[in-house]
Amino acid sequence: MMESKEDTHVELAVVDKIGRIQLPREYLDSIGLTSDSNKLEVMFEDGKIVILNPKDKHV
C-alpha cells in the first residue's frame, strides 16, 4: 500500500536560543486564539507540553 504525503508529514516548530516557540498560525486558529491575543495557557502533562486557549474552560 502506498502512503500519501499527508500520512508522512510531521509538523516541526521553531525553538530559538532562549526557548521561544513559533507555532503555525493554523494551529493557533484551531484553538480559537485570535490575532490580537498574545497569551496562552501552557501545562506539562504526562511528559508533553500542552498549549491551551486561556479563555476556554477546563475540567
Q: Is the pLDDT of residue 7 over 90?
A: no
**Rounded Cα gap, residues 34 and 15, in angstroms:** 22
Q: Return the C-alpha cell found at 52.
A: 491551551
Q: Return the C-alpha cell found at 9.
A: 508529514
- Predicted confidence at residue 8, as pLDDT, reads 79
Q: Which fold has domain 5-52?
A: Pemi-like Protein 1; Chain: D (2.10.260)
**Rounded Cα gap, residues 1 and 12, in angstroms:** 26
Q: What is the mean pLDDT of the chain?
A: 84
Q: Is the pLDDT of residue 5 over 90?
A: no
pLDDT > 70 in the chain, percent: 83
Question: Which helix (H) or strand (E) segment is 15 a member of?
Answer: strand 14-15
The arithmetic mean of pLDDT across residues 31-56, rounded, is: 90
**Amino acid at position 6, single letter:** E
